[in-house]
Chains A and B, each alone.
Chain A
Amino acid sequence: MGKKLAITGNQALAEAMRQINPDVCAAYPITPSTEIMQRFASFVSDGVVDTELVTVESEHSAMSACIGASAAGGRVMTATSSQGLALMWEMLHIASGMRLPIAMTLVNRALSAPINIHGDHSDGMGSRDCGWIQLYSENAQEAYDNIFQAVRIAEHEDIRLPAMVCMDGFIISHSIESMEFLPDEVIRDFIGEFKPKYPLLDVDKPVTYGPLVLPDFYIEFKRAQHEAINKAKKVTLEVAREFEKISGRSYGLFEPYRLDDAEIAIVLLNSAAGTAKDVVDDFRNKGIRVGLLKPRLFRPFPYEEIAEALGDAKVICVFDRADSFGGFGPMYMEIASAMMAAGSSPLMVNKIYGLGGRDFMPEDAEAVIKEMTGILDTGKTGTLKEYIGVRE
């Protein structure tokens, strides 16, 4: 049993990094993730970790240094948000293409313009196609628990891919909540020792990273990468089972909340899911069969498993805290693909909410669920994609 403390999400992740004690961290500060590396830098200067901290001039350099350190054979971590992740973009592909198991905490924040420092998912969703494993977290406890599991999944010999753990900027990163920490030695045993596959620093076995690969081989490497990330579903569940043994907390590919026999399902990611669970309870108490699905593993996306969990729903509302302008929200596209591939044809609508940190209140969830009961009665969806909580 670990100790319970009232702490912010950022403090929880800095503490997790102290317990992981990575070989190298290269990072550049950006709101709202700055506090993670600021606190971690104190651990470095106080000598409580052995980490080589590389302070760089930009996030592009931060990820480049992480790539070099990981190829050299180190266990490597970093933290960023929003524009920082956007600036890393080309290096994100290089980390995954070179199959380097870097672990990153992404404190979700809106992308400019207009400039905004608050939480939405446009940064994480924007990096959806960069080949990284993505785990999303509802609160500080989940973010803390996820980062250890992310290290294990990333470094698994069948995977060897970078992984990011996402949590909502300010709403989680800067809010204090009660959570449980695991003892240092328990974490040490859980994550184990990192065994690099082709360390550049092993001068007895020289290797080349990053060669030119032409049309005769490029697609073969991408096919292998596709195979590796898809294996992360199975590994995520294996690692979660092991994590439950040390923590008593159970994790899956997603969290179903009162979904059994639900006629109306809502899909919500991260902190807003916590808000909506109370509202789901209120509707259930009134005899309305509504349930919630909160995705956890977004890349790879568990299509079959999610389609099965949502299988009985006649109406599904997918919330997106990011927009793909001119298209549906990124989560809607995934859920629609999952249902279509499974041969289901529920009525599906998409609500864009909470951009730039706009609060998602219980009343917002209530209004949408009410609208869904109307769709269930009439069988008519109206406008498929709409913004909510926006002034006319």
Chain B
Amino acid sequence: MKLKGWKELEIGAIIPEAGNAEQYNTGSWRASRPQWIEENCIQCLFCWIYCPDSSVTVKDSKRGEFDYGHCKGCGVCAHECPGKKGKKAIVMVEEGN
């Protein structure tokens, strides 16, 4: 993507388009990734509530795959996940493994 030159920018670094942070891929900052293990998931949606970004996708009140384009791998979802019968539904895996 060709970056805008100084004459093409909005004054004062104002962002006139709402919600365009979605276009900025921040997932590359991640050192470890959350992995969703569906068979251990009770659909409590704690992960969706606690995610400081909005990287847990939800459809029809059920969670789906992580949005790895924006997940920074903070691990809050894995920490909060109650799992099922002592088995976590979210585990953190080091990137590159």
> What residues of chain A have their CB less than 8 Å away from a CB belonging to chain B?
97-100, 160, 197-198, 205-211, 213, 216-217, 220-221, 223-224, 227-228
Main secondary structure of the interface of B (DSSP, over half): loop
Main secondary structure of the interface of A (DSSP, over half): loop
Kindly state the separation between the CA atoms of A97 and B14 in the bound complex, as whole angstroms: 10
- Chain B residues positioned under 8 Å from A221 (CB to CB): 6, 9, 12-13
In the complex formed, the residue of B with least CB distance to A227 is B6
* Residue contact A97 to B13, C-beta cutoff 8 Å: yes
B residues 1-53 in Cβ contact with A at 8 Å? 3-7, 9-16, 18
- Chain A residues positioned under 8 Å from B6 (CB to CB): 220-221, 223-224, 227
Known: A217-B3, A220-B4, A224-B6. A160 touches B18 (CB 8 A): no
* Residue contact B14 to A207, C-beta cutoff 8 Å: yes
With A207-B18, A221-B6 known, 19 other A-B pairs at CB within 8 A are: A97-B12, A97-B13, A98-B14, A99-B11, A100-B12, A160-B12, A197-B11, A198-B16, A207-B14, A207-B16, A208-B18, A211-B13, A211-B15, A213-B13, A216-B3, A220-B9, A224-B6, A224-B7, A227-B6
B-side interface size class: 10 to 19
Contact of B13 among A210, A223, A227 (CB under 8 A): A210
A180 to nearest B CB, angstroms? Answer: 36
Kindly state the separation between the CA atoms of A126 and B36 in the bound complex, as whole angstroms: 57
- Chain A residues positioned under 8 Å from B3 (CB to CB): 216-217
Closest 4 CB pairs of A and B: A99-B12, A208-B15, A220-B6, A223-B6
- Chain A residues positioned under 8 Å from B7 (CB to CB): 224
A80 to nearest B CB, angstroms? Answer: 22
Kindly state the separation between the CA atoms of A211 and B14 in the bound complex, as whole angstroms: 7
- Chain A residues positioned under 8 Å from B5 (CB to CB): 220
- Chain A residues positioned under 8 Å from B18 (CB to CB): 206-208
Kindly state the separation between the CA atoms of A228 and B11 in the bound complex, as whole angstroms: 10
Can you identify 21 A-B contacts, CB atoms within 8 angstroms?
A97-B13, A98-B12, A99-B11, A100-B12, A198-B14, A206-B18, A207-B14, A208-B18, A209-B12, A211-B15, A213-B13, A217-B3, A217-B9, A217-B13, A220-B6, A220-B9, A221-B9, A221-B12, A223-B6, A224-B7, A224-B9
In the complex formed, the residue of B with least CB distance to A219 is B6
